[in-house]
Amino acid sequence: MKPIVEAGPALTVDQVRRYSRHLIIPDVAMDGQRRLMAAKVLCVGAGGLGSPALMYLAAAGVGTLGIVEFDVVDESNLQRQIIHGQSDVGKSKAQSAAESIAGPCYRCLYPEPPPPGMVPSCAEGGVLGVLCASIGSIQVTEAIKLITGIGESLIGELMIYDALEMTYRKVRIRKDPQCVLCGPNATQRELLDDYEGFCGAISTAATAAIAGSTISVEQLKSKMDHKDNF
């Protein structure tokens, strides 16, 4: 089938990183992603079908999305229309959907990475093993909700879990128009070369723990060239 959209400009380095899983699909590749980003899609309805459609169209990189919807968000919509949340009840569905797909990123919440030494690694600060199961279960639950369209997702919210007090708290987050990463005048365009070094050098104990368990790419190639057992 002949494409109906001409390919747009070349992708930036950031866009290549973001859509890398698309780019390795032969039928999509670079040309297909450029077409997606040049495309304009009009979605008629932002309800049960339009909700996931709009979210995935935005995630896929479609350049321009239009929404036609006369209705307002009703509480009965929330169990399947995943693009809307409790705070959107009574709001225009078109407006609610537009706000959701242009939602906040991690840097909207934390504009700056933590200073060196502020956040210890698992090797330095330790980790309560059972918390992995607790948070992992929540992540899976969220995935199932999004896939099946049930309940209300945590999109646009920060959930804070206090295991010692056994309390959960949710904080609504809005997109920061001045965000250094996703704002119109973004300044953060490159990944940090050494995030571990940026946030604080690895501790002596952690260094000792991994001693002898890692090799460089050059060492690996040398072992492979010499057919060493490893």
The pLDDT tens digits of the residues spanning 101-114 come to: 877 777 888 887 77
Please state the rounded mean pLDDT for residues 88-107. 85
CA 30 to the chain's CA centroid: 21
DSSP-assigned letter for residue 43: E
Rounded CA gap, 32 and 192, in Å?
29
pTM, two decimals, is 0.50
Rounded CA gap, 229 and 121, in Å?
32
Rounded CA gap, 154 and 145, in Å?
10
Can you give the pLDDT at residue 204?
58
Can you give the pLDDT at residue 84?
86
Q: Is 41 in contact with 55 (CB distance < 8 Å)?
A: no
Rounded CA gap, 199 and 217, in Å?
24
